[in-house]
Amino acid sequence: MRLRLWIRRIGAILGTVALGALIGFLIPTIAAEYAPAPVHQPLPAGTAQSSTNQELPIARAFIDAFVVNDQPRLKELGAAEIDTVKANDLAQQVQNVGQPVLLGSIGGPGISIQAYASVATMNDGTKTILSWRVVTTSGRAALVLPPNGLDPRP
């Protein structure tokens, strides 16, 4: 008889603790679910939320190696085969490429795009401005190829 009484008391205590833990979890969860969302201030027109002008060192190392066709450095940076071929093509088409200048960058969680431009002297002696976009994802840089031109015929 006494054992049954002790088991009931211990059961009541454990049930109270379990009910308190359940209510202690449910009330804040429900309150957070039905609370109004915080109001965000709108950004001024023309600005991107994640836009920064901070250059990533991996992107700078990649573009510096790309414009001088430094194949061992590109391989060391983990460049894709298409990027090394494009660097080789660039080296065959130009006499001299100036130091690339960062035009801007935009990034988000885990990804960043940097835009660069440089003055180049082509093989025929003309000067032109070349531009590149470098995308970095998870610490690896790659060249973003420009889109194909639009067909002038409708």
Closest among 128, 127, 129, 101 to 115, alpha carbons compared: 101
Closest among 115, 111, 113 to 138, alpha carbons compared: 111
pLDDT score of 49: 45
pLDDT band for 154, please (50, 70, 90 cuts): low
SS3 label, residue 145? coil
Asked whether residue 126 carries a pLDDT value surpassing 50, the answer given is: yes
Does 151 reside within a domain? Answer: no
Residues 59, 26, single domain; the answer is: no
pLDDT score of 136: 92
pLDDT score of 48: 46
Asked whether residue 43 carries a pLDDT value surpassing 70, the answer given is: no
Pairing between strand 94-97 and 111-122? antiparallel
Does 13 reside within a domain? Answer: yes
pLDDT score of 53: 63
Residues 66, 139, single domain; the answer is: yes
β-bridge mates for residue 123, sequence order: none
pLDDT in tens, 45-90: 544 444 456 888 999 999 999 999 999 999 998 888 999 999 999 9
Does 9 reside within a domain? Answer: yes
Does 133 reside within a domain? Answer: yes
Does 123 reside within a domain? Answer: yes
Residues 55, 115, single domain; the answer is: yes
Provide the number of structural domains found in the chain.
2
CATH (domain of 113): 3.10.450.50
Mark out the alpha helices in the chain (DSSP H runs): 2-34, 57-67, 71-76, 81-93
Residues 68, 26, single domain; the answer is: no
pLDDT score of 47: 46
Residues 138, 102, single domain; the answer is: yes
Q: Which range of residues forms the domain containing residue 1?
A: 1-35
Residues 56, 97, single domain; the answer is: yes
Does 22 reside within a domain? Answer: yes
Does 134 reside within a domain? Answer: yes
Residues 55, 119, single domain; the answer is: yes
Does this model's pTM top 0.75?
no
Determine the Cα–Cα distance for residues 77 and 72; give it in Å rounded to an integer. 9
pLDDT in tens, 7-38: 899 999 999 999 898 888 888 888 888 887 77
Residues 2, 69, single domain; the answer is: no
Residues 110, 64, single domain; the answer is: yes
Residues 87, 111, single domain; the answer is: yes
